[in-house]
Amino acid sequence: MEEENNNVICPECGEPFEKHNIAELAEMTAAGITNQEFPNIWSKKKQELKQMSKKELAEEMYFAGAFDMFSSFHGMIEKIKEEQDKYL
């Protein structure tokens, strides 16, 4: 397969990312971040989290998710910029 292909490939299915709709990408990204980051947060903050109310806990985890999502996007943007420099 020598066709010109600047598409980013999906590590899940090997197809170009553009074949996925936004909702699928959002779900995969969120699932990936959760699988990757939740064990860290849990082992680091277990004691703290166990003392929180359910509302505080939900808030704390939502914040952690939002924070990780931003960090992850920022990382992706840097990566995409690096990749683009090779082609432009």
Chain positions contacting Zn ion, by CB under 5 A = 10, 12-13
The two structure tokens encoding residue 20? 């996925």
Q: How far is the CB of 7 from Zn ion (least distance, A)?
A: 12
Q: How far is the CB of 83 from Zn ion (least distance, A)?
A: 18
User: What's the rounded Cα separation, in Å, for the pair 80 and 76?
Assistant: 6
User: What's the rounded Cα separation, in Å, for the pair 55 and 62?
Assistant: 10
| C-beta closer to Zn ion: residue 2 or 14 | 14
The two structure tokens encoding residue 4? 């010109």
| C-beta closer to Zn ion: residue 12 or 83 | 12
The two structure tokens encoding residue 41? 């947060």
| C-beta closer to Zn ion: residue 12 or 18 | 12
